[in-house]
Amino acid sequence: MKKTRALLFLLAFLLCGVPLVCSAQEASKAPVLVVHGEADPIPVASSEAWARAFPNGRLLLVKGAGHLPQVEQPEVFFGAVEAFLKGGRVPGAR
């Protein structure tokens, strides 16, 4: 259930730009993976701040991707999401 919420939060943020609403207590415990394309015109500092805002937050910078890493580098993006949802280490995430 927690992994499902984390995935929904991630997908809502990446695809819609609107995070799902949950309690601060739930959000603070949930693992969070923030994915940012290295060539994204939005400054990486915003994604770094998102990742730092959560105790279990991680940031993955995707090389060769701009604002849509899920489209531009699908193998990297979906591989990272799959590893994240399985509770494993996401290669390259910090």
At 1 the pLDDT is 52
CB atoms within 10 A of CB 85: 16
At 9 the pLDDT is 61
Here the tokens at position 94 are 């910090």
At 18 the pLDDT is 47
CB atoms within 10 A of CB 19: 15
| Among candidate residues 54, 20, 19, the one with its CA nearest the CA of residue 93 | 54
What's CA 70's distance to the chain center, in Å? 11
Q: What is the mean pLDDT of each run of 10 residues along the chain (94 residues)?
A: 61 54 61 94 92 90 95 94 90 88
